[in-house]
Structure 1
Amino acid sequence: MRITVFGATGGVGGHVVQQALAAGHEVTAVVRASSSYDVQGIEVVRVAGLTEAGPLLDAVDGRDAVISGVGPRGTKSGPVASGSTRSILAAMAKTGVRRFVAVSAAPIGPPPPDESFLNRRLLLPMIRAIAADVYADLRVMEADITSSDTDWTIVRPPKLTNKAVTGRYRTSLGPTVPAGYLIGRADVAHLMLAAAANPAMIDQAVGVAY
Structure 2
Amino acid sequence: METDTTVVILGVGQTLTQCDYRRLERVLHYFIKHRELPHDFQSSEHRRSNYDCSLSQEELAYWRQQFHERDPSQRVYSAKYPPAKKVVILIVEGFLIYYDAAVRNLFDMRLFLRVSRATMLRRRTERQNYVLEDGEVWEDPPFYFDEIVWPAYVEAHGRMFERADVEHGALVQPAINDTPDGGPVKDMILLEAEGYSKEEVNRRACKKIFTFLYRPPP
TM-score (norm 1): 0.33
Greater per-residue strand proportion: 1
Larger Rg, first or second structure (1 or 2): 2
Greater relative CO (CA pairs within 8 A, separation 6+) = 2
TM-score (norm 2): 0.32
